Amino acid sequence: MTVTQLSTFVLVARLGSVGAAARTLDVSESAVSQALAALRTHFGDPLIRRTGGGGMRLTPAGARLLPVASRMVALSADAEAAVRAARGAPDELRVVATSTLAEFVLPSLVEAFACRSGRRTETSFGVAAGNEIRVLVENRLADVALGPYLGAARRGELVSEPLFRTQLVVVTGARAPRPPGPPPRWSWLVDASGTDPDADSGRLLRRLGVAEGHVWVFPNQAATWAAAAEGAGVAPALAHLVSPRIRRDELRVLETPATPSDATWHATVLQPEHRSPATDAFLHFLHTPTATRIMGAPGAGVPPSRFRPPVYVTLWGA
């Protein structure tokens, strides 16, 4: 039995599928299945069974193992941090963010933090959906999550602090006519956040009652705006990020019954007693004027074509 196997079991149990755990760890589904198989052999119990609806359910033994495994994964993270500190190794900082933040501001935030902090810090960052980032932080597989407010965690383990307030709007081509019919029947152009029920775009589509057949998913936010500018449909957008395209007369804001609406980015971390010095330093940096300028400056990140997030590849060395 290894910490990697236990981490994998915790992710499958918390996220509800082998596929979700594989995406979060950035490994193949077969690697996740192999880790689960090794644990099942070790304990002589299936631990998790598939249900008829395509979901997964813990066996009685799996239900008892889950909180213990979570504690063991957390203790392993504490042990690694203690050894790194004793060896004088650089601090480790793992940041995860929703797709919009990762596309526009996360690389610049991490770079600015490295320049200002003066700390020797090994930083990795990646992309995850709202339900995934909660699980990653709770189980010590990420140190900081940037995205929506995640609410109170089990046993009050998480802290979500507001960082930046903006507005969610809907845009269409500058010279495109208003789409016919009510908003639920429009063609909606979204990035991955549109499929995330915890993200601003996902919540907007749910509030408007947009059916899946009227949603088209693109690889990133910039691609949705380009398609909207060509008249392919309408796209949710954060006002301060899309404003340069509006000023260039490529897009215009289209009012809907649910927009404009307020949107806030949050930083989610563990309680202070469970945070590393690097996490505290980065959290402090996120509240500085420098970080606020980066979050408020459209296009401050790297171009999406060059964005290659190292999504937790180091976790498999646990």
Q: What is the mean pLDDT of residues 77-95?
A: 83
pLDDT greater than 60 at residue 309: no
Q: What is the CATH number of the domain that holds 155?
A: 3.40.190.10
Q: What share of the chain is helix, strand, coil (3-state, %, to 5)?
A: 50, 20, 30
Residues 157 and 267 grouped into a single domain = yes
Q: Which residue has the higher pLDDT, 81 or 101?
A: 101
Do 158 and 194 fall within a single domain? no
Query: Is the link from the previous residue into 260 a cis peptide, with omega within 30 of 0?
Result: yes
Q: Which domain holds residue 179?
A: 165-262
Instruction: Say which CATH number the domain at 39 has.
Output: 1.10.10.10
> Model confidence over 200-224: pLDDT tens digits?
899 999 999 999 999 999 999 999 9
Asked whether residue 143 falls in the same domain as residue 11, the answer is: no
- The answer to whether position 216 is within a domain reads yes
Q: 47-68: buried (b, 16+ CB within 10 Å) or exposed (e) per residue?
A: bbeeeeeeebebeeebeebbee
Average pLDDT over residues 284-312: 66
The confidence score (pLDDT) of residue 298 equals 53
d(CA 311, CA 219): 17
Give the pLDDT confidence score for residue 20 in this predicted structure. 82
In this structure, are 39 and 148 located in the same domain? no
* Mean pLDDT across 181-188: 94
The answer to whether residues 210 and 124 belong to one domain is no
Residue 313 has pLDDT above 90, yes or no: no
Token pair in block for residue 97: 């963010």
- Asked if residue 39 belongs to a domain, the reply is yes
Look up the pTM and report it: 0.79
DSSP-derived pairing of the beta strands 158-173 and 251-253: antiparallel
pLDDT tens-digit map of 129-169: 877 888 888 888 889 999 988 765 455 578 889 999 999 99
Region 9-38: mean pLDDT is 87
Is the same domain home to 203 and 54? no
In a domain, 283, yes or no: yes
Task: Please give the pLDDT value at position 151.
Answer: 66
pLDDT recorded at residue 318: 30
**Residues sharing a CB contact under 8 Å with residue 118, sequence separation 6 or more, in sequence order:** none
Q: Using N-to-C axis directions, what is the helix angle for 3-15 and 130-138, rounded to 10°?
A: 140
| pLDDT value at 300 more than 60 | no
